[in-house]
Every structure is written in structure tokens, then in C-alpha cells.
Amino acid sequence: MNQPLTPMEDLLAVDPHSLRISVGLPHPLAKFGVAGKFEDGLYLDIILYFIRVAAMEEPDSRRGKAAMWFLLESEQTYFFVCDEAGIDAVKLRDHLRKWFGLPVDVWN
């Protein structure tokens, strides 16, 4: 029952995707899936990458600006990636606008 703790270095070397699945955590974007379903793969990883960059980079950096453009301003690429991932693009974009303190899309 009592197993020794895993050294921190070993935990950091584990793929976050595999770790999340092995401990039974839901995907961070699961609530944005169309009809409760989504495709956990490359396209979902792309969305998560841009969310992480937008949150962690300086807002005036090239990466930060590119991430914000993709998430909040792109009119084709963002919707294509969300569609391929099975994510409700409008719902996620509205959530991100609230999270970044911006006005929500008025076209809903």
C-alpha cells in the first residue's frame, strides 16, 4: 500500500499527457467539446500550446502577440483547429476573452 515517493526528476520527465491519463484527470478543454466529445490529439495540443504561451509569455513579446492573435483574432485558422479537435470554438473564445479580461464576442 505505502509506496515510496517518486523523485521529482522522474515526474518531470513524464509526458504530461500520459501523466494526466494515468491519474485519471479530465482533459483541461473537455468542457468545450462539441456535444461533450473532443479529439485528444495534435489539434487539441495546438490549442493548449497557444493558451499556455498567451498566459506565460510577456504580452508584448512576439510569441505572446502571436498566441493572442491565434486565440482571439484569427478568423479561419483558429476555427479550423477547433473544428478538427471537436472543440466549440465560440464557447472557448468567449471563455478566453473573459479570462484575459476582454469583452465577450457580441455576435453570439
Listed in sequence order, the residues at least 6 apart from 50 whose beta carbon sits closer than 8 Å to its beta carbon are 67, 70, 71
pTM to 2 decimal places: 0.74
- Residue 9, pLDDT score: 61
9, 37, 64, 71 from 52: Cα distances, Å? 22, 22, 10, 11
Residue 20 pLDDT > 90, yes or no? no
Cβ atoms of 16 and 28 within 8 Å: the answer is no
Listed in sequence order, the residues at least 6 apart from 93 whose beta carbon sits closer than 8 Å to its beta carbon are 71, 72, 78, 105
Listed in sequence order, the residues at least 6 apart from 92 whose beta carbon sits closer than 8 Å to its beta carbon are 29, 32, 47, 82
- Give the residue-averaged pLDDT of 43-47: 92
Q: How confident is the model at residue 7 (pLDDT cuts 50, 70, 90)?
A: low
pLDDT in tens, 21-33: 666 667 778 889 8
pLDDT in tens, 55-81: 999 989 999 999 999 999 999 999 999
Rounded Cα distance between 62 and 59, Å, is 8
Rounded Cα distance between 59 and 53, Å, is 10
Give the length of the chain.
Answer: 108
Please name the amino acid found at residue 74.
Answer: S
